Amino acid sequence: MGPLAVTRLLVLVSLTVALDNGLLRTPPMGWMAWERFRCDVDCKDDPENCISEGLFRDMADRLAEDGWKELGYDYVIIDDCWMSRLRDKVGRLQPEPSRFPGGIAKLARYVHDRGLKLGIYADMGYLTCMGFPGTTLDKIEIDAQTFASWGVDYLKFDGCNSNPVEQMLGYPLMSKALNATGRPMVYSCSWPVYMGGLPPSVNYSLLGEICHLWRNYDDIQDSWDSVQGIINWFSNNQDDLQPAAGPGRWNDPDMLIIGNFGLSVDQARSQMALWAIMAAPLIMSNDLRNLDNSARAILQNKVAIAINQDPLGIQGRRLLQEKSRVQVYWRPLSHSASSLVFLSLRTDMPFLYHCSLDKLNYEAGNYEAYDVFTDSTVTGLNVTTEFTVSINPSGVVMWYVYPRSSQADTVHRRVSESRVHPAGPDHRSVL
């Protein structure tokens, strides 16, 4: 491609209207099909688990009836494989009629009637990742209009089967097309992951103007190795990634796999804690119809959710990597509070880790800490106090830390009561 063509592309990108519709001032929360149910389209032999309107109605019922919605989990998101193999006679995407006989608009009404929101999937390419019709450049406008007409609230826009030039044009143009519909929709871009995830190939300033969130790295799999790999990549590159995040624009390390098959209870707590520290979307991919009590308790932990949803919207950072294979993460929060996560990557036995707030760059003063997963309080902390935490292998200790002051009783009461009150459709109050 010659310099003139590149210039024309950049001009088109710069003319794109920013996607500033006030959504996602805190990270989105909800449920998505992909990691748990993949591309199961066999509704004849596996009707309970295939990608169909029945599956999404079931998950909407569970979010609405089992206490998830009140905690902020309010998106039900369809991923790949919902489409018919052919567009309709006027070029619009359409759902596979045997699996979605009522259509997407009817499913959206079902979801909305339960106080929830519906998300859908499309792909910036000639085919989706699983071979269904993609959204080529000439189809961006009609697809945006179609989603809006159906009452869709969230679009995940993937990037299989496209090239960098098409992505450079297509992702901003979809942002503009979504804006032009007049319907507020969350826009999740997969663009960075197809460009290596890092500057200079990825322009995070532009992404923050056109997208609400974006996938940076590989798909998560149902294993602790996969979770560790994602945590390490985000931490190793935090100087590039952390400044890109904030209210209305979030890095997305992919779905929560808690409640599936690959994580122990300790590893599940680790994923929840690190996703909260990273200000990551809390998008579950599991079977909410068959969730055990330990997974439910982790995913519904109100203090972990409140930390994730803190309105400052500052993504946390890894502070320390110890030779003992303990890592320490920190995130600043509202009300002069913060969160600490002590993560053990050991595989042998519980490890006694000794530290102090001074070592973690806290200012002089007196503090208390609420232990998020044991519902206990650590008192008598100042910056020079040495404390000890016992961390299980591949587990975490997660603290909500606050200064001891005249307001400490109020703060401690809020933490102990673990209250999270929705303050609006896309902004949730914290502790």
Active-site residue flag, 66? no
Torsion of the alpha carbons at 93, 36, 197 and 158, rounded to the nearest 10: 0
Choice among 58, 219, 222, 371 that is catalytic:
219
Distance of CA 222 to the CA centre of its chain: 16
Neighbour count for residue 210 (Cβ, 10 Å): 25
Closest by Cα among 429, 175, 223 to 309: 429
Query: SS3 for 296?
Result: helix
State which amino acid sits at residue 367.
Y
Cα dihedral 190→195→197→203 (10° resolution): -90
Task: Look up tokens 């890894």; give the residue.
Answer: 318
Residues whose CB is less than 8 angstroms from the CB of residue 232 and which lie 6 or more positions away in sequence, other chains included? none
DSSP classification of residue 33? S
Residue 407 has φ and ψ, to the nearest 5°, of: -95, 0
Q: What is the largest CA-CA distance in the chain?
A: 71
Gap between the Cα atoms of 398 and 372, Å rounded: 6
What does the radius of gyration of the chain's CA atoms come to, in whole angstroms? 22
The one-character DSSP state at 220 is: P
- Identified catalytic residue from 123, 153, 158, 254: 158
Both tokens assigned to 171: 């992702």
Residues whose CB falls within 8 Å of the CB of residue 10, separated by 6 or more in sequence, listed in order: none
Question: Shortest CA distance to 342 belongs to which of 389, 284, 387?
Answer: 389
Q: Are the C-beta atoms of residues 175 and 210 closer than 8 Å to each other? A: yes
- Is residue 158 part of the annotated active site? The answer reads yes
- Is beta strand 282-284 parallel, antiparallel or unpaired with respect to 29-32? parallel
C-alpha 47 chain-centroid distance: 28
Hey, is 311 helix, strand or coil?
coil
Look at the block and give the residue holding tokens 């929060």: 333
DSSP 98-138: TT-TTHHHHHHHHHHHTT-EEEEEEESSSB-TTSSB---GG
**Helix, strand or coil for residue 47?**
coil
What are the residue numbers of the active site? 158, 219
